Amino acid sequence: DACAALLLELQLEVDRSGVPAAGNPGKSRSGGRAGFILVIDGRTLDWALQEDLKEDFLLLSCSCKALLCCRSTPLQKSQVVRLVRDQLAVMTLAVGDGANDVSMIQVADVGIGISGQEGMQAVMSSDFAISRFKHLRKLLLVHGHWCYARLANMILYFIYKNV
């Protein structure tokens, strides 16, 4: 009950500030970015991911500019990704660098593993691998664009050959 009251109070605070626009997560009514970032730890995330609080947690996190989950278990990470993917019907991307991120990477639609000090488990279970976090921008903007273009051409060729 305390967690539900806290989630409701946070949602009211966000609504009172006039920041989120309905149906447009992370955007304000005036067109700018939302000014709230939600930081939640693993113990609080346990309460927020209960069946009766999932909707409130999802609504609150969609109203914020970013959601940061710290000190969470691998199961909690995968539950958050699954909740967003299933409830919002959006494509999810997960970035991880260690064995504790493997389940989150596997649940996401696109998984990116960062090779580093924590081993190669995340890289081995991911769709894409990068050596450093700074390479994520290039992966998404350059390689993502070319992958999309190649896939579109392949679909057009497939339709052409079957007609």
Query: What pLDDT is recorded for position 34?
Result: 55
- Domain membership of residue 24 (yes or no) is yes
How long a stretch of residues is the chain? 163
- Domain membership of residue 80 (yes or no) is no
Question: By the 8 A CB rule, do 77 and 103 touch?
Answer: yes
**Containing domain of residue 6, as a range?**
1-72
- Domain membership of residue 25 (yes or no) is yes
- Domain membership of residue 57 (yes or no) is yes
What is the pTM assigned to this prediction?
0.75
- Domain membership of residue 44 (yes or no) is yes
Query: What pLDDT is recorded for position 20?
Result: 46
d(CA 133, CA 129): 10
d(CA 153, CA 83): 33
Query: What pLDDT is recorded for position 118?
Result: 84
Domains contained in the chain, number: 1
Question: By the 8 A CB rule, do 110 and 127 touch?
Answer: yes
Per-residue pLDDT of the chain (163 residues; tens, 9 = 90+): 777 888 888 888 877 776 544 455 545 544 444 578 889 999 999 999 999 999 999 998 988 888 888 999 999 999 999 999 999 999 999 999 999 999 999 999 999 999 988 889 999 999 999 999 999 999 999 988 999 999 999 999 999 999 8
- Domain membership of residue 42 (yes or no) is yes
d(CA 35, CA 86): 26
Q: Provide the edge-to-edge strand list for the sheet that holds 110-114.
A: 93-96, 110-114, 128-130
Angle, helices 54-62 vs 74-88, to 10°: value is: 80
d(CA 82, CA 159): 33
- Domain membership of residue 52 (yes or no) is yes
Query: What pLDDT is recorded for position 100?
Result: 93
